[in-house]
Structure 1
Amino acid sequence: MAQTFTFELVSPEKVLLSGEAEQVLLPGAEGDMTVLPGHSPLISTLRPGVVDVVLGGSKASVFVRQAFAQVEPERVTVLAEKAVDVAELTGAALSEALSQAEADLASAKDDAERLVANQAIDTLSRLKA
């Protein structure tokens, strides 16, 4: 059996994913990172993007915004202000999320806010295609 670690993805409303993961791909603020069992400890903000998790041989994908990850050798926790299962981001839900990101871009007050909004628009546009 492959080595695993405990993984949790939590939003203010609920725990979206929880279980023993084989690997996690995180959209880190400085670039994508893959976490495997025994990873060195770190805390990182996440840019808007998709968290891909391999749980029990199956893959789950969740779009996150305003999130950060805490990585320990035997545990990864992602706390996200906004998180939606990619499978649920179809049709109207995807259009609504994209409209919200475009509204965030229009109301951005500085370069940092514009960057985050543009990253969300880029990721959501790729999901829509």
Structure 2
Amino acid sequence: MADTMQFDLVSPERSLLTAQVTSVQIPGADGDLTAMPNHAPLITTLRPGILTVDTDKGVQEFVVTGGFAEIGESLSVLAEQALPKADVDQATYDALVDEAQASYTHTKEAGASVDDAAKLLNDMVALAGSIGLTAKQPAL
């Protein structure tokens, strides 16, 4: 039984981490989960949240805004946006909420269902508490 598994975190901009890991806590759209070596194969979507990666060099945390995780013999996370948690300050967080707000407004003006856009916006607002920042209130 393996003690570690291969992990890759990538966003459209760059590869953020490639490492052997003992566990990864994933903010899944259907609930948080922890992937470890020998986890059952699974593909899940991500919600905005903190991705916590446990490596032999310590714990690393990343803020993700959505994407997918594919768990098999290895774990690949394809994030819409991902940043090291330490790099997310109030201005960066506010910009992420502004993007979610713009998406919500655009969807509403187009006359489409706003359920997914509203959930994304609310998840982004809730993320502030997880990273120790002041929540920016949305205009719904």
* Cα shift at 1:97: 2.3
Which range moved further: 84-93 or 4-13?
A: 84-93
What SS does the corresponding residue of 1:31 show, helix, strand or coil? coil
2:25 maps to what in 1? 25
Root mean square deviation of aligned Cα: 1.8
Describe the superposition over 1:14-39 as per-residue Cα deviations: whole angstroms up to 9, x where unpaired: 11011000100001111000111100
Asked whether the 8 Å contact 2:25–2:33 carries over to 1, the reply is: yes
| Paired residue total | 127
Q: When you count strand as a share of all residues, which structure comes out higher? A: 1
Asked whether the 8 Å contact 1:4–1:22 carries over to 2, the reply is: yes
What is the CA–CA distance in structure 2 between the aligned matches of 1:126 and 1:39, rounded to whole Å? 26
TM-score, with normalisation over the residues of structure 1?
Answer: 0.88
1:61 maps to what in 2? 61
1:113 maps to what in 2? 117
Larger Rg: 2
Asked whether the 8 Å contact 1:28–1:47 carries over to 2, the reply is: yes
* Cα shift at 1:116: 1.6
Q: Percent identity?
A: 35
What amino acid is the match of 1:95? D
What amino acid is the match of 2:31? G
1:99 maps to what in 2? 98
Gaps of at least 5 residues in structure 1 are none
Asked whether the 8 Å contact 1:97–1:124 carries over to 2, the reply is: no
Asked whether the 8 Å contact 2:27–2:49 carries over to 1, the reply is: yes
What is the CA–CA distance in structure 2 between the aligned matches of 1:95 and 1:101, rounded to whole Å? 10
What SS does the corresponding residue of 2:54 show, helix, strand or coil? strand
* Cα shift at 1:125: 4.3
Gaps of at least 5 residues in structure 2 are 109-113, 135-140
Asked whether the 8 Å contact 2:24–2:35 carries over to 1, the reply is: yes
What SS does the corresponding residue of 2:32 show, helix, strand or coil? strand
Asked whether the 8 Å contact 1:9–1:18 carries over to 2, the reply is: yes
What is the CA–CA distance in structure 2 between the aligned matches of 1:123 and 1:105, rounded to whole Å? 17
Asked whether the 8 Å contact 1:51–1:61 carries over to 2, the reply is: yes
TM-score, with normalisation over the residues of structure 2?
Answer: 0.81
2:80 maps to what in 1? 81
